[in-house]
Amino acid sequence: METFSQIGKRCRRIDALGKVTGETRFLTDIVIDGMIHAAPVYSSVPHARIDSIDISPIENASGFIHFISAEHIPGQNQVGVIVPDQPLMADTRVRFIGDSIGLVLADDSRTARELASRIELKYSELPPIFSISESRDATGDFLHKTNIACKHQVDRGDIEQGFSAADFIVEESFRTPVQEHYYLEPQGCIAIPNPDGRIRIIGSLQCPFYIQKAVAAVLGTPFNAVIVEQSPTGGAFGGKEDIPSELCARAAVAAVVTGRPVKLVYSRHDDIQLTSKRHPFEMHYRVGVTADGKLTAADIDLAENSGAYATLSSVVSYRATVQAMGPYVVPNVRVRSTSYYTNLPPNGAFRGFGSPQVAFGHERIMDIIAARLEMDPGQFRLLNILEHGAETITGHKLAVSVGARETIDRVLDHSGWPGQKTVDDQGRFRTGMGIAVTHYGNCLGAAGWHLDGSGVTLSLHRDGSVTAAFGLVEMGQGALTAVAQMTAEALGTNPEQVIVAPTCTELVPDSGPSVASRNIVMTGQAIRDAAAKLNPLLRQTAIQLLGCEAQNVLIKSGTARDSLTGSEVSFAQLTEYMFMHNVALEATGWWHVPALDYDPESGTGEAYFTYSYATHLARVKVDTLTGEVNVDKIWAAHDVGCAVNPAGIEGQVEGGTAQGIGWALTEDFKFDQGRALTSNLTTYLLPTARDAAEVIVAIVEEPEPAGPWGAKGIGEPAIIPTAAAVANAVSAALGIQIREIPITPERILDLLACNNH
């Protein structure tokens, strides 16, 4: 590995102090002169035609200012992220409880919410559809032109020949549930009309350029008339990718109509009822394998509940499809993935973006096959794992940066993996260990390649300080610290000299969405591009100040040094000289993912330009009397290419595993006829500190040449294997195959009762 001055250091988070002291100002702390408040008015029924909207009960109420509805929209009444199927505000039909009808504007938020509840809505109700099977089996009265939101597929090799070559064919079905993001800060924004006719948006968000596009379309204005600035964001996990476009566009309409700043912040109840969730999946796997353990074929059907609108279903479905059999060599593959519309809140992005769902499928089937073959589950995976020169299920031949095998080796070595026998029968309490291996395509992949560019602006100041403006966002993952480290490494200064500007659409070019673990790769490469324009100027200045030969100049850690004589000048002396001599002190960098050779019709080729790999091994204890599962310890090995900030990586993995444990065991989201029943922490059980496992993190570095300093993404891979590893461990502990999560006590007791009969 190359030696770096800043990359690889364990840096303290530069945003930590303000957050732990309470000095950071989140959206609810921000007040704008003349600001009024908005509250959402939304459908109370899952499926209906709107007959009337009566605001007369509130027109003369104290504090009432205005009611905004579809008739006030000056541009397009459309906010679909990919598919134009979602009105910003419904005017004729509603498709889920929470479908937007309008906003009530009032002097304060409490009054706005109270008045919103008094608007009288009359409907002609239509038959609702809630399940995948209902949607799939419908022959008419479709929710849109059809009930299918999207389809994807992979067809590679000869599937029938592959099954003919198998000694065993194993067939199983699996289900994964809805998961609520439950970020600590609810959705919110402020829309501010400027005197010059432009509109400024401040929001808790992930994707400022999505919002810029959505607001411009709704207002009928050019992009440059919309300024989007991120406020410090208290968690997102994918839930603030698409939804903020809706809030910001509605608030923008209200601001334009009233000429006043409008603040819209959801209550927790509204946030849970109205916003997107993780897609629930129904999966069927049919896999062929030889007697000596080599995979020959996989035939996989995936069905996803999209909810009322497509939102991001097409890219969730795409990722799930091309990763449906995991990081294994399978020469013959057929995958069919279909997302179905229902009358539930739309499902969208959630950390992992379809990968955790299929990871549960392919890692459960791998364990079931290993049991059928009486093979050690770890060794069975090693026998089929992707390595250099092997091909993914889409036929992408991997030449570099394939650390999957090492991640398996690391957790097996560190955990005391007992081999084939992973059941410890202690009477009432049963202990088991389970392993799960995954890969994750970095960035947006072939389906979103046109959006997969990102920009950075680096500004040198005469005192040696640096401002870095980037187009992605800090949403709790440590992006600001990583950007400061990478900027310092690229320029030869120290992170302490770098300030990272709040993300704003006016400061950088459209950098796409802050999703798909893009930040390290995209921002890092854009930083290197900008630095490549500034570094020759810095070096030329150093040559002049030091009076030395070009080959002897070394700029590192805030000092320019003549390696021959040892004479030095500071980075600040370089920038002061450049300022005084009218040398450029600012540069914009840009990077786009390399071209991908991918055929969407067959689903074959280069689905992503590179992959991160991970192995999690969980040790659980199951109480057979109460059905409770305790995850005692998780060994987690991640191939990150190059660790920019090892402390940040460990934090990501610890947080991801906790979130994965919640999805696996406790987060049992419930709807009743489309209405969320688990709308608070009393009913929706997030894991607490007592539920989180001890996590032993191993960092594997298989450098990716197309990544900055060899780095790859880590944010989403941190959660992807966890639920599968936990389910495999519970299955091993009980000797009963788990086919559905969450693994609640009730589900455990039912399985034990059935097994005893």
CATH number for position 556 = 3.30.365.10
Residue 463 pLDDT: 98
Indicate if the pLDDT at residue 445 is higher than 90: yes
**Kind of pairing between the strands at 498-500 and 466-470:** parallel
In a domain, 558, yes or no: yes
Indicate if the pLDDT at residue 140 is higher than 80: yes
Contact 574, 538 (CB under 8 A): yes
Q: Over range 3-23, report the average pLDDT.
A: 94
Together in a domain, 643 and 730: yes
- Per-residue pLDDT tens for 567-602? 999 999 999 999 999 999 999 999 999 999 999 999
Indicate if the pLDDT at residue 542 is higher than 60: yes
In a domain, 510, yes or no: yes
From the centroid of its chain, how far is CA 546?
A: 48
Together in a domain, 648 and 723: yes
Residue 215 pLDDT: 98
Indicate if the pLDDT at residue 2 is higher than 80: no
Q: Over range 327-337, report the average pLDDT.
A: 98
Indicate if the pLDDT at residue 446 is higher than 60: yes
Starting at the edge strand found earlier in the chain, the sheet holding 629-639 runs 423-426, 429-441, 611-623, 629-639, 694-700
% of the chain with per-residue pLDDT over 70: 99
In a domain, 81, yes or no: yes
Query: Domain ends where: 241, 265, 289?
Result: 265
Q: Which structural domain, as residue segments, surrounds residue 306?
A: 281-446+599-756
Largest CA distance in the chain: 88
Indicate if the pLDDT at residue 425 is higher than 80: no
10 Å CB burial of residue 423 (0-12, 13-18, 19+) is: middle
Query: Domain ends where: 541, 562, 592?
Result: 592
Q: Over range 466-484, report the average pLDDT.
A: 96
Contact 700, 635 (CB under 8 A): no
Question: Domain holding 245: CATH number?
Answer: 3.90.1170.50
Residue 423 pLDDT: 56
Give the total number of structural domains in the chain.
3
SS3 call for 76: coil
Residue 422 pLDDT: 53
10 Å CB burial of residue 428 (0-12, 13-18, 19+) is: exposed
Together in a domain, 587 and 643: no
pLDDT tier for residue 427 given thresholds of 50, 70 and 90:
confident
In a domain, 149, yes or no: no
Indicate if the pLDDT at residue 631 is higher than 80: yes
- Per-residue pLDDT tens for 160-189? 999 999 999 999 999 999 999 999 999 999
Query: Domain ends where: 265, 299, 320?
Result: 265
pLDDT tier for residue 756 given thresholds of 50, 70 and 90:
confident
In a domain, 93, yes or no: yes
Together in a domain, 239 and 111: yes
In a domain, 508, yes or no: yes
Residue 426 pLDDT: 67
Indicate if the pLDDT at residue 22 is higher than 70: yes
Together in a domain, 603 and 694: yes
CA angle 563, 567, 573 (to 5 degrees): 110
- Residue 280: closest CA among 651, 722, 668: 668
Together in a domain, 555 and 654: no
From the centroid of its chain, how far is CA 95?
A: 26
In a domain, 110, yes or no: yes
- Mean pLDDT score of the chain, rounded to an integer? 96
Indicate if the pLDDT at residue 439 is higher than 70: yes
10 Å CB burial of residue 556 (0-12, 13-18, 19+) is: middle
Q: Over range 443-459, report the average pLDDT.
A: 95
Together in a domain, 370 and 254: no
Indicate if the pLDDT at residue 388 is higher than 70: yes
Together in a domain, 351 and 480: no
Together in a domain, 223 and 285: no
pLDDT tier for residue 755 given thresholds of 50, 70 and 90:
confident
Residue 179 pLDDT: 98
Indicate if the pLDDT at residue 1 is higher than 80: no
